[in-house]
Chain A
Amino acid sequence: MFISAARYFFFNQEQESTTITLNINMILIIFSHPYPHRSHANKTILDSIAKTEHVFITDLYQKYPDFHINVIEEQSLLRQAKLIIFQFPIYWYNVPALLKQWQEMVLSRQFLLGDGDHGCALQGKSAMAVVTAGHKHQSYQQGGEDNYNVEEFLRPLEQLSVHCGMHYHSPLILHQAHKASETELTQFSRLYSQRIEQLYQKNNNNDE
């Protein structure tokens, strides 16, 4: 999946927008990492989750290295998703720049409120963040080096999700990601996999 997304980028570069038809109700992972090929944790985790059923990955830095986002395509992916995962490393207490750009470009007012053809685009979908953080768990608390919980740094994303009408689920966090051992990564991936499976089922049931 990951590779196919990269290929897709090349193939699609000179065309305007071709909307790929996928299984509706997919799990969309919006992956934002500027240096995936040098990443220790994120790439491993992503690769292990990629094979999961219903998962589709949109790799922002791989698709839009010049920050020129194909808005129509990204919106179409969002429409087809049941569950939206934001996977990224937290850097300087924030989302990577391209994910911020994605928010500004893709989540237009018209898209969120709906137009003639589509209803409210994200209403009722589920959202969750899966993040890596540089420091130890203990640093992320009051009086610690970083002063706040990781959850606090994710507040804007949380409120944005809620504002878009989505159910926001508590994030999965991998601390000290660059030092994580093989076992820790495997464990985290398994947890990740279980969580999305669980949320996906739950979301389906909600619909019925």
Chain B
Amino acid sequence: MNEHSLLVNILIYLLSAVIAVPIFKKMGLGSVLGYLAAGTIIGPWGLSLITNIDDILHFSEFGVVLLFFLIGLELEPKRLLEMRHSIIGMGSVQIILTSFFLFIICLWYGLNWSSALIVAMSLSLSSTAITLQILKEKNLLKTDTGHSAFSVLLFQDIAVIPIMAAFPLIGGSQIGESHSLVSAAAEIIAVILLVVIGGHYLTKPIFQIIARTHMRELFIAFTLLLIIAIALLMEKIGLSMALGSFLAGVLLAKSEFRHELEVEIDPFKGLLMGLFFMAIGMSINLSLLIEQPFLIFSLVTILIMVKLGVLFIVARIFSFPKSQYTFFAIILSQGGEFAFVLFALAGNLDILSKQLIELLIVVVALTMAITPLLIWFNEFFIAPRFAQLSSRTESVKLQDIGHPVIIAGFGRFGRVVGRLLHANKIPTTILDHDPDKIDDARKYGYQVYYGDARKSALLNSAGADSAKIMIICVDDPQMVLDIVDMAKKHFPHLTILSRAYDMGHAFELLDRDIKLFQREMLSSAMILGEKTLTELGYGAYEAHHATKIFCDHDRNLFQQLYQTDALEKRISISRQARDELEKVLAGDQEEQSRRNYDGWG
């Protein structure tokens, strides 16, 4: 390969990603599937633009390492300790049960017991990369379901180590490289201690020194250096790289640089993860799929079904809310990237045949590709129906009448609106995409639908046809606009009230003829300002009055700004208006001191 080929390759990756991912996102299928499809198309079994999959897979695995680092950053050691029961409990149940069922199925397919055991254990692991990417994209990492899924993944990452160690034993080859277990364990403990102590005492002063240079790239360089060093160190002693970087992340979770680290590393992680998914897409051997479609199809189905079944049992044992069973099961239902590594190892040890490995890689890659589809399916067909069913049994009467008000988004904002209406006995239907919020709301007797309020199908099942009013309380400004556009198109009879992020966002709502909006920070900030005036010695009524005058002025200013289109002009007007407001307030005070107070004795 000549020197240009690297740049050409990068060009191909970026181009295919830039084309495929937005298309898939627009279709609501998520970015992961977009990357996978892009990979398949440019890969050796597609257009054959890229051929060196293994190198890419290995290189881009570093994206998963970075992902683990970022997750570690968000988990303080204390939280991790709190999670230990769910990590060990759910994780072990999942791995043991899944391996067991898969083992039996493998035997039934005619594998000998040692290959069956190895295949079963390898396939019992799920894909950290896919699961976490989806959870992150749907903003569900910090929910209970997210935590549970993460616990299972974390346990799997730890479990990989003994599984790998067990391969030579199962294969019946010479027992290891007679690297005694005791010394290996001692090595592992020593390295972890080194990382923990070093991470705790050394990194902080170094970060401080680097931060003082005010060179961003140096900061990034040191962070990457740190992560790579720890990852390699871990790999050297036979632990997973991801586990090492996770540890590093946890250690830095309490440092003051946490946020900066997150921001700086995130783009690297994103790009590498994308590359990683593309590499997986490339490794789907399409010719094999064409040769044996039935076999592959049935294996994929069996694998997913077994995993789903076991995860349902886990959800049951650990008493998840019922509405979250499906989501939790689906998100962990695929084979994982560790399977690739383990199969490669098994191939080297001659435990599994080459054809079997190739077949299984296609199966695993396909299960990964199917996860986003299942999620999509769940979101639009199973979850809404489930929500509808359960609320129907809970409140038959309300359903029959049809609620006049729909609230989209039940976060901090929507909750207040909902409670106010609830207190006045106005039946409301609530839409949110976070299962936890939904459970809370349902406890209090709201009718709740799970899903993306931008989809007309969901609104339809939520009774938008018979409703009068829709209140949009979603925090993401773009999503608010998307919902408005959709609702205006499909449910023109609905009166829309909307939360506005700021002035600019409010203008966009006005552009869409939404006149009933409220800027989200305005009222509370004004009230706090009023309290400040009072605290500074204003009479309470005077402070209230001053705030109201400010309010009026703000409203006028808003109108004026809205009529001016050019942005620069808006800025100059708002400056002018601020001067004007000072004058008005000063004038108001002057007038009061001249006239009012004497009369008030």
Contact = CB atoms under 8 A, between A and B. Distances in A.
B67 to A, nearest CB: 43
A35 to B, nearest CB: 6
Contacts of B598: 40, 134, 178
Interface stretch (B175-183, B469-477, B532-540): B532-540
Interface stretch (A60-68, A111-119, A146-154): A60-68
A62 B540 contact: yes
A41 B601 contact: yes
Given A65-B543, A65-B544, A66-B544, A37 B537 contact: yes
A177 B542 CA distance: 21
B599 A34 contact: no
A34 B601 contact: no
A9 interface: yes
A5 B403 CA distance: 44
Q: How large is the interface on B (under 10, 10 to 19, 20 to 34, 35 or more residues)?
A: 10 to 19
Contacts, number: 67
Interface string A124-159: 000000001110000000000000000000000000
Interface in A1-54: 6, 9-10, 33-42
Given A35-B596, A38-B593, A132 B601 contact: yes
B201 interface: no
Contacts of B539: 34-38, 61-62, 65
B541 interface: yes
Nearest to A134: B599
A134 B541 contact: no
Given A61-B540, A61-B541, A65-B541, A177 B596 contact: no
Contact of B597 (A39, A62, A66, A174): A39
B601 A39 contact: yes
A89 B540 contact: no
B109 interface: no
Contacts of A62: 539-541
B600 interface: yes
Given A65-B543, A65-B544, A91 B599 contact: yes
Interface string B523-556: 0000000010010011111111100000000000
Contact of A35 (B531, B534, B597): B597
Contact of B541 (A34, A40, A89, A177): A34
A63 B600 contact: no
A177 B537 contact: no
Contacts of A177: 601
Nearest to B531: A10
A129 to B, nearest CB: 14
Nearest to A89: B601
A36 B600 CA distance: 9
Given A35-B596, A37-B537, A38-B593, A134 B542 contact: no
A177 B597 CA distance: 11
Contacts of B537: 37
Given A35-B596, A38-B593, A63 B601 contact: no
Given A38-B539, A38-B593, A61-B539, A33 B600 contact: yes
Contacts of A63: 540
Interface string A161-181: 000000000000010011000
Contact of B600 (A65, A91, A174): A91
A39 B598 CA distance: 8
From B531, B539, B599, name the one whose CB has the most chain A CB atoms within 10 angstroms.
B539
A125 B190 CA distance: 85
A177 B592 CA distance: 17
B541 A35 contact: yes
Contacts of A91: 599-600
A85 B90 CA distance: 70
Contacts of A33: 600
From B531, B534, B593, name the one whose CB has the most chain A CB atoms within 10 angstroms.
B534
Nearest to A98: B541
Contacts of A174: 601
A33 B593 CA distance: 15
From B592, B596, B601, name the one whose CB has the most chain A CB atoms within 10 angstroms.
B601
A133 B601 contact: yes
Interface string B117-151: 00000000000000000000000000000000000
A65 B538 CA distance: 11
Interface string B566-601: 000000000000000000000000001100111111
B139 to A, nearest CB: 30
A39 B600 contact: yes
A9 B539 CA distance: 12
Interface in A56-109: 61-63, 65-66, 89, 91, 98
B599 to A, nearest CB: 6
A89 B600 contact: yes
Interface string B360-395: 000000000000000000000000000000000000
A65 B543 CA distance: 8
Contacts of B600: 33-35, 38-39, 42, 89, 91
A37 B601 contact: no
Interface in A167-197: 174, 177-178
A35 B540 contact: no
A178 B601 contact: yes
A40 B601 contact: yes
Contacts of B596: 35
Contacts of A132: 601
Nearest to A179: B598
A94 B294 CA distance: 93
Nearest to B537: A37
Given A35-B539, A36-B539, A37-B537, A42 B601 contact: yes
B544 A37 contact: no
A134 B601 contact: yes
Nearest to B539: A37
A189 to B, nearest CB: 14
Interface of B: 531, 534, 537-545, 592-593, 596-601
27 contacts: A9-B540, A33-B600, A34-B542, A35-B539, A35-B541, A35-B542, A35-B596, A36-B539, A37-B539, A38-B539, A38-B592, A38-B597, A39-B601, A42-B600, A61-B541, A62-B540, A62-B541, A65-B539, A65-B541, A66-B544, A89-B599, A89-B601, A91-B599, A134-B599, A177-B601, A178-B597, A178-B601
Given A41-B601, A61-B541, A89-B599, 19 more contacts: A10-B531, A10-B534, A34-B541, A34-B542, A36-B539, A37-B537, A37-B538, A37-B542, A38-B542, A39-B597, A39-B601, A42-B601, A61-B540, A62-B539, A66-B544, A89-B600, A133-B601, A134-B599, A178-B601
By Cβ-Cβ distance, the 4 closest A-B pairs, closest first, are: A177-B601, A132-B601, A65-B544, A89-B601
